[in-house]
Structure 1
Amino acid sequence: MSRSRALQYYVLSRLLLAPLMIWTITTVIFLLLRATPGDPIDSLLGPRAPESAKAELRASLGLDAPLWLQYLRYMGSLLRFDLGTSLASQGQSVWEIIQQHFPATMELAIFSMLVSVVVGVSVGALAASKPNTPIDVGGRLFGIFTYAVPMYWFGMLLQLVFAVQLRWFPLGTRYPLRMAAPQGPTGLYVVDSLLHANFEQFFTSLYYLALPSLTLGLLLSGIFERMVRVNLKQTLKADYVEAARARGIPESRIVVAHALKNALIPVITVLGLTFASLLGGAILTEVTFSWPGLANRLYSAISLRDYPVVQGIMVFFSVIVALASILIDILNAYIDPRIRY
């Protein structure tokens, strides 16, 4: 089989598996929501509402139908790209909720990823280039700490120190209420303020974004630190590295220009999947910092037993993760032909 034909076959197989993955996630979410205790009708009307009112609302929402019929109706709506309407937001569609809150999650994920990559790769490369030294030990401790520490605890600690005690950063919002938020096509405040050349809004957006993105980025940097450190240590033992040293090339140039480039190849997979998980799993970060993103809105919907919103947001996130997984697999297959066999 030729290289191009093998790559085409691999890409096709991954594309065919994506709908199965999304369908499985959707089905599991549908069943788990209805298996957990609680009634969305009680959340909407309160437990003391008359039973007749509860029954009427349950019938109007289709929640009185058998479980299999609810599932078929839901899957039929998904095939029409209809994610439903919120039960608790006065008829607001799930697509409107996603459009309203997703840009905040995207902005937080982008800047958190930048912080995690820069810090993780730098610390990992420095630790690997100084093996069996205090710097190497410090790098390992950094990776263990950032990987193991609970996000909510670390986030509250940083807020207590830098926002409450030192008053260096703001709390509990994405943009000051007394100022008009940036408006633009992307919904990303940093980008839209740059598009309008409004540097006051740009720096204000960065200021309010700094503490949440630093918190999440530092905790994620441990993943990249450990991967870069391990791979770079192995790469520095390769024959071509020894040959470069024999030619008198400075060690810093060997690490940066030769070894680090090859050591970063396995990081591509983790980079893509970590970014996808940031978009879909930053609930603790957004709740801890009261960040008005889609993950925080998902948390509220779970608390209110808002079935359509929970299901719609989870389907949206699962599609993002599936697409990111496919793109990363294709990129790895293109870089390393052994993956296709």
Structure 2
Amino acid sequence: MSRSKALQAYTIVRLLLAPLMLWTIVTVVFLLLRATPGDPVDAILGPKAPEEVKNAMREQLGLGKPLWLQYLNYLGDLLRFDLGTSLTTRGQTVWEIIQQYFPATVEIAVCSMIVALVVGIGVGTLSAGRPNSGWDVFGRLFGIITYALPAFWMGMIVQLVFAVQLQWFPLGTRFPITQTPPAGPTGLYTIDSLLSLNFGQFFTSLYHLALPSLTLGILISGIFERIVRVNLKQTLLADYVEAARARGIPESKIIISHALKNAMIPVITVMGLTLAALLGGAILTEVTFSWPGLANRLYEAISLRDYPTVQGIVVFFAAIVVMASILIDILNAFIDPRIRY
């Protein structure tokens, strides 16, 4: 089989598996929500509401129907790309909630990923390029500590020190409440402020992004540091690297121009899946920093037993992760022919 046909066959198989993965996630979420204790009607009306009023609302919301019928109706709505209507926000659709809150999640996820890549690849390269040195020891400790620290605990400590004690950064806001936030087509404050050439709003947006994105970025940078350090060390032992050294090529050029490129192949997979997970909602980070993103909104919906909102946001996040996984698999298959055979 030729290379192009093998890649096409691999791509088709991955695309055919995507609906099965989404259907499995949808089914699990649907059943788990209804298996957990609590009643969304009580969350809406309160536990002291008359029973006849509660029963009327259950019928209105379709919660009085048999479970299998609710499931089939939900699948039918999903096939029409209808994620439902929130039970707790007065008729707001789940798509409107996603449109309102998702840009904040994208902004913190992208900024955190940039920090993670810069710090992780930088520390990993320095550590691998100087084996058995102080940098190597620092790289090992950095990777272990950042990977082990809980995000919610680190977020609280960072806020306590830098926002409360030192007052270097704002606390719990995306933009000052006394100012008008940037308006634009993307909903991303940094991008919309640049599009309107309002650099004051741009730097204000970055200032509010700094603390949560630096915290989350440094915590996940340990993943990239470990991968880069391990793979770069193995690559530096390859024959072509020894041949480059024999030709008198400087060590820094060997690392950057030759070894690092090959060591970065596994990083592509981890980078794509990590970004998908961040876009899928770093719930602990958003809740800890009171960041008004979609993951924080999901947490509120879970607390209020808002079935349609929880199901819709989880399906949206799951679709992001599945699509990212497929794209990464296809990219890896294109780069490395061994994956296709």
How far does residue 253 in structure 1 lie from its aligned partner after superposition? 1.2
3-state SS of the aligned residue for 1:81? Answer: coil
Match of 1:305 in 2: 305
Match of 1:280 in 2: 280
3-state SS of the aligned residue for 1:19? Answer: helix
> Percent of counterpart pairs with the same letter?
74
Q: Which amino acid aligns with 1:68?
A: W
Match of 2:89 in 1: 89
How far does residue 206 in structure 1 lie from its aligned partner after superposition? 0.3
Match of 1:248 in 2: 248
Q: Is the 8 Å Cα contact of residues 281 and 294 (structure 2) preserved in structure 1?
A: no
3-state SS of the aligned residue for 1:89? Answer: coil
Q: Is the 8 Å Cα contact of residues 58 and 64 (structure 2) preserved in structure 1?
A: yes
TM-score by length of 1: 0.99
Match of 1:6 in 2: 6
Q: Does 1:150 align with 2:150?
A: yes
Match of 2:204 in 1: 204
How far does residue 127 in structure 1 lie from its aligned partner after superposition? 0.5
Distance 1:260 1:167 in 2: 40
Deviations 1:96-141 (Å, cap 9, x if unpaired)?
A: 0000000000011100000000000000011111111221111111
How far does residue 76 in structure 1 lie from its aligned partner after superposition? 0.5
Distance 1:330 1:120 in 2: 25
How far does residue 83 in structure 1 lie from its aligned partner after superposition? 0.4
Distance 2:37 2:222 in 1: 37
3-state SS of the aligned residue for 1:44? Answer: helix
Match of 1:161 in 2: 161
Q: Is the 8 Å Cα contact of residues 273 and 321 (structure 2) preserved in structure 1?
A: yes
Match of 1:41 in 2: 41
Match of 2:314 in 1: 314
Q: Which moved more, 1:69-78 or 1:244-253?
A: 244-253
Distance 1:120 1:165 in 2: 28
How far does residue 281 in structure 1 lie from its aligned partner after superposition? 3.1
Match of 2:122 in 1: 122
Q: Which amino acid aligns with 2:99?
A: Q
Match of 1:223 in 2: 223
- Consecutive unaligned residues of structure 2, counting only runs of 5 or more, are none
Match of 2:236 in 1: 236
Q: Which amino acid aligns with 1:287?
A: V
Deviations 1:154-193 (Å, cap 9, x if unpaired)?
A: 0011111111111110001100011110000111000000
Match of 1:68 in 2: 68
- Consecutive unaligned residues of structure 1, counting only runs of 5 or more, are none
Distance 1:73 1:167 in 2: 51
Count of paired positions:
341
Q: Which amino acid aligns with 1:88?
A: T
Q: Which moved more, 1:293-302 or 1:253-262?
A: 253-262
3-state SS of the aligned residue for 1:205? Answer: helix
Distance 1:308 1:236 in 2: 52
Q: Which moved more, 1:77-86 or 1:133-142?
A: 133-142
Q: Does 1:132 align with 2:132?
A: yes
Q: Does 1:170 align with 2:170?
A: yes
